[in-house]
Amino acid sequence: MNEWEHVTCMKTIALRFQGNLMKTYIAIGTANCFNEDVVSRGRMILFDIIEVVPEVNQPLTKHKLKVSRINSMSIEDK
């Protein structure tokens, strides 16, 4: 993430893939916080939750996040 980019929302969602199978993802929305004279920009990032072999004596490390998709957007005042 960029220096001025901040997470503004985060949600766990279930989406269909490969027909009727459901998979859990984490979706976050970001915003670049500048001053009022700069066009607002942000991104929506979708993370895939994958299982990995946990580290020794740390069973809570069995999941990792992998970026699945990124969409950039901007809002211009017309």
Confidence of residue 48 (pLDDT cuts 50, 70, 90): very high
Instruction: Work out how many domains the chain is built from and give that number.
Output: 1
Sequence-ordered strand ranges (E) for 1-78: 5-17, 21-32, 40-51, 63-75
The position carrying tokens 């939750």 is 49
**What is the structure's pLDDT at 9?**
95
Identify the CATH number of the domain in which residue 27 sits: 2.60.40
pLDDT at 35: 76
**Domain carrying residue 32:** 5-75
Sign, Cα dihedral of 66, 60, 27, 36: negative
pLDDT for residue 76 is more than 70 = no
Q: What is the pLDDT of residues 31-47, one digit of tens each?
A: 887 777 777 788 999 99
